[in-house]
Every structure is written in C-alpha cells, then in structure tokens.
Amino acid sequence: MRVQELRSSRNALWRGTGIALAVSLALASVSPVAAQSLTDRFKGLFGGKSDEPAPPKPPPAPGQPAEDDLDCPQVTVRAGASTYAVGATGKPAVGNEIRFQASITKMARECARSAEGITARIGIQGRVIAGPAGAPATVEVPLRIAVVHGGVGEKVIASKAYRTTVEMTEGGSVPFTFVAEDLSYPVPSAKDADSYVFYVGFDPQALAPEPKARPKKK
C-alpha cells in the first residue's frame, strides 16, 4: 500500500510540475534576452542580488570598440529543442515511462573581441524533473549552442555541443546552470550583424561518443 501511495504522489507531482514547465518554456521561448550588461544578466540568472551595484567595466583595448558598440546577437531557444526527456530502458519517453525531463528556463550572453573574431559567453539555466519511472542519481544533459545567420536560406556560422552533469535529489526537481565560454565566430559585416542570432537547445547527439580516429596506413 505504501508503494502505491508513493507512486500516486509522484504521478501527481509530475502532472503539476508539467504544467509549470509548460508555462516556463512558453516564457523562455517567446522572450529573447533583453540588451543589458552581462553582470546584471548573470547576477539575476545565477543567484546574485539584483540590487547590488555592478562593478565598473574595464576600458576597451587600444583600437577595439567599446562593449556597447559591439553587436551581440539575441539568444533564444531553438524551436523543438526546449525540452529533453528520457524514458525507461527500451521505452518511449511518454507518460509513466518518463525517467526525467529537462527544460531551459533562462539565458544570457556576452560578446567580446578575440583573435578568432568574436568570442561569445552564453549562460543557460534550466531544471531537471524526475518522472514517474524514477530518475537516476546523476543525469547527463546534452546542449548545443549555435550562431546562425537568419533570414531566407538560414546559415549556421558556428555550432558546438556541450554536456553538463546534474545530480538529482530526493525532491526530484533540480536546477542546473551551464556557461559556455568558447564559442567563437568571424565578425559579421555591418549589413548582416542584425540578422545573427544565438540558438540554444538540447541535442541528444551531444551524448554520442566521438568517433575513433582511424589508424594511419603505413
């Protein structure tokens, strides 16, 4: 009887959190991050106090534009990549067969000049919720971040896959934070800069093992 009560309680929690997830995802997908200082964005995103004064920005290097003059694309969740669900072994990730589901809730970005052109710092905050089938002790979350030249004939300028590990708790609802520091791409022309966008999302292929290098023929 006790086992049945626990399962019923977990299923009820899953249905309730599912509604909250839907609301969070709707807000994340339709509202790109507004233009504000990285300090303010990450302070609010990663737990800092928003009423703390931001430290002064260092002056730009000689011959480099000020940060405010550097175009930094908006960041948004890629359509169809806002959630990542895993089912029980051999089962589809639906209904009571879901082991866990991850979602992206907030994002932030910063751009700076680099030897490669522009290097972006992309922050992602999300949450992993245990499903009715029970989540493992640790969860591997696969992410992908891309720089895309939007418009007709959309073109991917740069793309990188990442992983982050989330340790689950008894409560079954755990936030996670990930910051990519190394996404670089060439400086766009002035006429194309406004068409650039950062896309973030879950990408299960990021968990696939890298192909082994073929041995060189002697």
For the segment 53-72, what is each residue's pLDDT rounded down to a tens digit? 333 444 444 544 444 446 79
Residue 127 lies in a domain: yes
Residue 54 lies in a domain: no
- What is the pLDDT, as a whole number, of residue 6? 43
- What is the pLDDT, as a whole number, of residue 206? 79
Residue 119 lies in a domain: yes
Residue 71 lies in a domain: yes
Considering the chain, what is the average pLDDT of its residues?
76
Close Cβ partners of 167 (under 8 Å, ≥ 6 residues apart)? 137, 138, 174
Residue 118 lies in a domain: yes
Closest to 143 in 3D by CA, of 130, 121, 120, 161: 161
The count of structural domains within the chain is 1
The whole-model pTM stands at: 0.68
Residue 7 lies in a domain: yes
Token look-up 């006429």 returns 191
CA dihedral 43, 47, 49, 53 (to 10 degrees): -20
Identify the domain containing residue 119 by its residue range: 2-48+67-205
Residue 11 lies in a domain: yes
User: Does residue 181 come out as left (phi exceeding 0), alpha (psi in the -120 to 50 range) or beta?
Assistant: alpha
User: Does residue 23 come out as left (phi exceeding 0), alpha (psi in the -120 to 50 range) or beta?
Assistant: alpha
- What is the pLDDT, as a whole number, of residue 114? 82
Residue 12 lies in a domain: yes
pLDDT at residue 148 is higher than 70: yes
Give yes or no for a contact between 202 and 141, defined as CB atoms under 8 angstroms apart: yes
Provide, rounded to the nearest whole percent, the portion of the chain with pLDDT above 90: 54
